[in-house]
Amino acid sequence: MAMNKKLLTVSVICLLFVFVLEAQDNDANVIKSDPLNGAYQSTYNPEQSEKILIRNARILTGTGEELVNASILIENNKISAIGKIKKNTKANIIDAKGKWITPGIIDIHSHMGVYPAPSLRASSDGNEATDPVTPHVWAEHSVWTQDPQFTLALKGGITTFHVLPGSANLIGGRGVTLKNIRSVTVQGMKFPKAPYTLKMACGENPKRVYGNRKQEPSTRMANVAGYRTAWIDAEYYLKKIDRFANKMEDNLLLDEADLDEDEDQERPPKRDLKMETLAGVLKGEILIQNHCYRGEEMAVMLDIAKEFNYKVTTFHHAIEAYKVADLLADQGVCAAMWADWWGFKHEAYDMVWANAAMVDQAQKGTGCAIIHSDSAIGTQHLNQEAAKSRAAGIRAGLDISRGRAIKWITFNPAKALGISDQVGSLEVGKMADLVIWDGDPFSVFTKAEKVFIDGHIKYDSQREEAFKRTDFDLGIIDPEDTRL
């Protein structure tokens, strides 16, 4: 039934699409509302899942709550009930007595796929460090889908992750949100309907990379000049596009003969990949994910956003977020942080263990804290990273429940990626992405036992066959064996 509904919806969308395309094709000068013509979209479409009832679990819902002795019902890839549920004879029952359940873990900062393992020059595809402003590159076009790090992350409970370009550039390119499922194509991994994101980077990295080449930027002030110049270009581009579109609407477009005389004024502007991405940000369709360590730099970046009227969704790494925690909370900007990384550069010198907890508690608990990994090791234990940050918060005298802290690696990253209507918490109607842990997920001794994505068990510590490996793992140590 659900399948039919989906087919119907897809067909309707397709029909609409054809209609729109035809309408546009009648006039070659019109800019298509979807310049991509439907390309690059997610092709991920999970098979309909079985009905599964998980019982007797302790559940951290991702909404802040902790349910004891509770159940979750999974139907048609979605969560169809949570809480006290009557035993349903038609469902497969999983007894989770003594186990904990959380939403699938979401890592908002990953370079898996673009910096895959093993680390080789041939597949080191995360930084287009040839120009400080490269909004035209898309991380998804670098993703190697056979990265064995994906499956390691899955064993740690990662069901969704956000792959970013590196931080060499002021504006590094588009990021992509992926589901942690095996697919030969990156389109097959793309999170359905997730908005695009744009990676920007503050501070030391861009100025070091280009400064070493005696090229701009070599200072933080040139960093800022670089962003502003790019946004001025984007504003101009957007105005040009809008002016043209308005003329179209007003039927002011002249016929072919007149066009030649009137040159740029009436000709549809040529597509510009860089500007399409930046304009997407100004239109609010593409979310800014901004690598930024220092407090004062975050404040400057927020002023740039004010000047050009866009929004910064998340500051990543945000070592000094605690110094501007009130400002971030007031402006509704999330900070994605490590639990304890520091000292690798000067802008990472002022780390405090309670960073996430302080961001979370700022302005009467209205802050948005996220724990990220930026590491193929860390992503496998993001629950431990959250545990360290929570413990540091408690030690600093802040009252942070497990229910609150689990949001740092579930709901908050989902919100910051624009997918919290679909994942990030265990609520009826959301995708059945969840993890059954063999104990308290805030303990170092606890491991993910079963990992569900869209209602399907993708990893089961007790059942090898549930687990799909990447091509890389086959025969690489022993030709007759599989890598771990």
Partner 1 sequence: MKKIIVIIILLFSLALPGVSVAGSQSVLIQNATVMTASDLGILENTDLLIENGLIAAIGKQLTANDAEIIDASNMIVTPGLIAPHSQLGLVEIELEQQTRDDSTDHYSAGFSIANAFNPSSTLIPYNRSGGITSAIVVPASAKTNFSGMASVFNLDGKLLTQPIAQDIAMVMNYGAESDSRASQILLLEDAFEKAVRFKRNKASILRGNYFDYGVYTIRDLEAIMRVLDKDIPLLVRSNRAQDLLTMIAIAKKYRIKMVFYGAKEAWRIADVLAREDIPVILDPMDNIPSSFDAIAARMDNAALLNAAGVTILITSQSTHNSYLSRQGAGNAAAYGLPQDEALKALTINVADVFGLSQDRGSIAVGKSADLVIWDGNPLEVSSFATAMMIEGHSISLISRSRRLRDKYLIELGLK
Tell me which stretch binds partner 1 (CB under 8 A): 21-29, 31-39, 358-366, 425-433: 358-366
Tell me which stretch binds partner 1 (CB under 8 A): 35-43, 225-233, 354-362, 424-432: 354-362
Report the alpha-carbon distance of residue 191 to residue 186 in Å, rounded. 10
Burial class of 5 by CB neighbour count within 10 A (0 to 12, 13 to 18, 19+): exposed
* Least spacing, CB of residue 217 vs partner 1, in Å: 17
Nearer to partner 1, 276 or 347 (CB): 347
Q: Which of residues 191-250 bind partner 1 (CB under 8 A)?
A: 204, 208
Site membership for partner 1, residue 446 (CB under 8 A)? yes
Applying CB under 8 A, which of residues 48, 63, 211, 353 lies at the interface with partner 1? 353
Applying CB under 8 A, which of residues 443, 457, 466, 467 lies at the interface with partner 1? 443
* Least spacing, CB of residue 484 vs partner 1, in Å: 5
Tell me which stretch binds partner 1 (CB under 8 A): 7-15, 251-259, 390-398, 451-459: 390-398
Calculate helix-pair angle for 220-249, 295-308, nearest 10 degrees.
Answer: 20
**165 CB-side CA count, 13 A:** 33
Cα torsion 288, 293, 296, 301 to 10°: value is -10
Residues 277 and 305 sit within 8 Å (Cβ to Cβ): no
Site membership for partner 1, residue 181 (CB under 8 A)? no
Calculate helix-pair angle for 355-365, 382-395, nearest 10 degrees.
Answer: 60
Tell me which stretch binds partner 1 (CB under 8 A): 8-16, 75-83, 281-289, 393-401: 393-401
Site membership for partner 1, residue 148 (CB under 8 A)? yes
- What is the DSSP track for 25-92? HTSTTSPPSSTTTTTT-----PPPPPPEEEEEEEEE-SSS-EEEEEEEEEETTEEEEEES----TTSE
Grouping H, G, I as helix, E, B as strand and the rest as coil, residue 138 is strand
Grouping H, G, I as helix, E, B as strand and the rest as coil, residue 101 is strand
Site membership for partner 1, residue 476 (CB under 8 A)? yes
Site membership for partner 1, residue 325 (CB under 8 A)? yes
Number of residues that bind partner 1 (CB under 8 A): 52
Tell me which stretch binds partner 1 (CB under 8 A): 171-179, 241-249, 252-260, 472-480: 472-480
Site membership for partner 1, residue 479 (CB under 8 A)? no
Residues 339 and 357 sit within 8 Å (Cβ to Cβ): no
DSSP category for residue 50: P
Site membership for partner 1, residue 462 (CB under 8 A)? no
Both tokens assigned to 441: 């997920």
Site membership for partner 1, residue 350 (CB under 8 A)? yes
Q: Which of residues 78-137 bind partner 1 (CB under 8 A)?
A: 117-119
Site string for partner 1, 394-433 (x = CB under 8 A): -xxxx-----------------------------------
Applying CB under 8 A, which of residues 93, 245, 272, 341 lies at the interface with partner 1? 341
Tell me which stretch binds partner 1 (CB under 8 A): 74-82, 138-146, 338-346, 412-420: 338-346
Grouping H, G, I as helix, E, B as strand and the rest as coil, residue 434 is strand
Among the listed residues 36, 32, 9, 10, the one whose alpha carbon sits nearest the alpha carbon of residue 21 = 32
Nearer to partner 1, 94 or 405 (CB): 405
Cβ contacts of 448 within 8 Å, gap of 6 or more:
155, 156, 157, 435, 436, 437, 438, 459, 461
Site membership for partner 1, residue 474 (CB under 8 A)? no
∠ at Cα 434 (455, 110), nearest 5°?
110
∠ at Cα 483 (482, 484), nearest 5°?
105
- Name the residues that contact partner 1, by CB under 8 A: 117-119, 148-149, 152, 204, 208, 322-323, 325-326, 340-346, 349-354, 358, 361-362, 376-377, 380-381, 384, 387-388, 390-391, 395-398, 442-447, 472, 476-477, 483-484
